[in-house]
Amino acid sequence: MGGSPSFPREALSPERVVIVTGGNTGIGYETAKWIAMLGAHVIIACRSKERALHAISIMEADFQEEKQKGTSGLTSGTLSVEFMELDLSSLKSTLKFVEDFKALGKPLHVLICNAGLGMHPLTYTEDGNELMFQVNYLGHFLVVMKLLPVMYQSGPDCRVVLVSSVAHNWASFDLDKIQARQYNEANFDRAEYYYKSKLYQVMQMYSLNRRIHQSNVVVNCLHPGVVDSEFTRSFRDDCHWTCLYRCAKCTGVSITPYKGAITSIDVAVNRKHEGVRDVYFDKCAPVTPSPESRNQEKQEELWRFSLACLKDYLTEEEVKDLEKT
Ligand SMILES: NC(=O)c1ccc[n+]([C@@H]2O[C@H](COP(=O)([O-])OP(=O)(O)OC[C@H]3O[C@@H](n4cnc5c(N)ncnc54)[C@H](OP(=O)(O)O)[C@@H]3O)[C@@H](O)[C@H]2O)c1
């Protein structure tokens, strides 16, 4: 019964196009690499060209190694991975990414919203939003809204995968606090704001599915596990969180980025999930997310707030089209 979580090692069509945000390291790197090794075309959407190109070269080497080991399910072709620039802390850059992608004229079958950062000190983006709110949630919200029309035209079984966290369970929703204007650097609770950003992703899954449930696109979200990645970079100055992650590593609680990517890969490619929506996955299995995340009234408050934040980036038609899908 049960067993370790895994994803099917089944070939994917090279016609299948998958975007992984933050695909240059950690969970995103392993997610992008394995989906490409199964044969799909993968775009890693990253803020640093240098880091992304370096990641692609390591992926190539890993691919050759897996082939030599005789790993099953790998594509017999070449690895098809490309880089596109995306800085989620800038709505201008996010819009440019969407336009650049649309200009390629490619379909889009899977969009994995993976990029993120945690427990960051209080910082405002050039758009005036609290950083974790924008990078983890709002920037991805804009990408999804802009790329849904492409996904509608991309044939059956299109999926949006939101990499959330078990931490969403520890957050409450408070519209007045989203922008953290009440705080200064000294009293800002960075963990609370990370949890909140992960809560918003789960709430977004429900509000989006409500609007697109008759379409070919499904939205799901997941917890990857406690993962020993580069995630600790944004809170290196915080002893409490740095120690917790170190302890998790020493005691074997944290898992490798490969293991942390398994649920993302499974939710993105497993044929058994075709048509499945509104599920929060943990270890590849459905789990009930927090009551707060399932509160429809609050989901709609967040939806309206998000649209207001993006009013200069979404046209009335784009919003209306979504509401009537
Ligand atoms: N690690 C964990 O224990 C854990 C637990 C639960 C959930 N998660 C979630 O899993 C996801 C992946 O985390 P990870 O552990 O793989 O962390 P990671 O190793 O730090 O990777 C994070 C990725 O996000 C990218 N990113 C950060 N800010 C960005 C921005 N402004 N624009 C575009 N990309 C940006 C990073 O790019 P750069 O390399 O350029 O910085 C990197 O590619 C996150 O959403 C995180 O919240 C992680």
Residue-wise pLDDT tens digits, 146-184 = 999 999 999 999 999 999 999 999 999 999 999 999 999
Query: Distance between CA 308 and CA 16 in Å, rounded?
Result: 33
> How wide is the angle at C-alpha 46 spanned by C-alphas 89 and 235, nearest 5°?
60
DSSP 263: H
Q: Which ligand 1 atom lies nearest to the CA of residue 90?
A: 31
pTM metric for this prediction: 0.97
Q: Write the single-letter amino acid at 69.
A: K
Q: Is the pLDDT of residue 67 over 90?
A: yes
Which range (30-39, 105-114, 235-244) has the least confidence?
235-244
How many CA atoms within 13 Å lie on the side-chain side of 229? 26
pLDDT above 90 as % of the chain: 89
Q: For 137, which DSSP code? A: I
Q: How crowded is the C-beta side of 287, counted as CA atoms within 13 Å?
A: 18
Alpha carbon of 222 to ligand 1 centroid (Å): 14
Nearest CA to ligand 1 atom 7: 165
Q: Which atom of ligand 1 is nearest to the CA of 89?
A: 31
Ligand 1 site residues (CB inside 6 A) read 22, 24-28, 46-48, 51, 86-89, 114-118, 135-136, 163, 165, 223-224, 226-227, 229-231, 233
153 CA from centroid of ligand 1 (Å): 29
Answer whether residue 247 shows pLDDT above 80: yes
What confidence tier does 2 reach under pLDDT thresholds 50, 70, 90?
low
Give 68-107 pLDDT, tens digit per residue: 999 999 999 899 999 999 999 999 999 999 999 999 999 9
Supply the pLDDT for residue 319: 86
Lowest mean pLDDT among 36-45, 58-67, 316-325: 316-325
Q: What is the mean pLDDT of residues 202-217?
A: 97
Pocket test for ligand 1, best of 230, 263, 280, 283 (most atoms within 8 A of CB): 230
Domains annotated for the chain, with CATH where assigned, are: 17-227+257-323 (3.40.50.720)
Which residue, among 172, 167, 188, has the nearest Cα to 121 in the 3D structure?
188
CA of residue 299 relative to chain centroid, distance? 19
What residue's CA is closest to ligand 1, atom 1? 227
Give pLDDT, residue 239.
Answer: 86
Work out the burial of residue 85: count CB atoms within 10 Å of its CB; fewer than 13 is exposed, 13-18 middle, 19 or more buried: middle
Please answer whether residues 36 and 42 qualify as being in contact, where contact means their C-beta atoms are separated by less than 8 angstroms: yes
By annotation, the residues acting in catalysis are 194
Which ligand 1 atom is at minimum distance from the Cα of 136? 45
Q: What number is the average pLDDT over the span 242-254?
A: 89
pLDDT at 323: 72
**1 pLDDT above the threshold of 80:** no
Average pLDDT, whole number, for the chain? 95
- Helix H segments across 182-230? 190-212
- What are the residues facing 17 on neighbouring strands? 41
Confidence of residue 291 (pLDDT cuts 50, 70, 90): very high
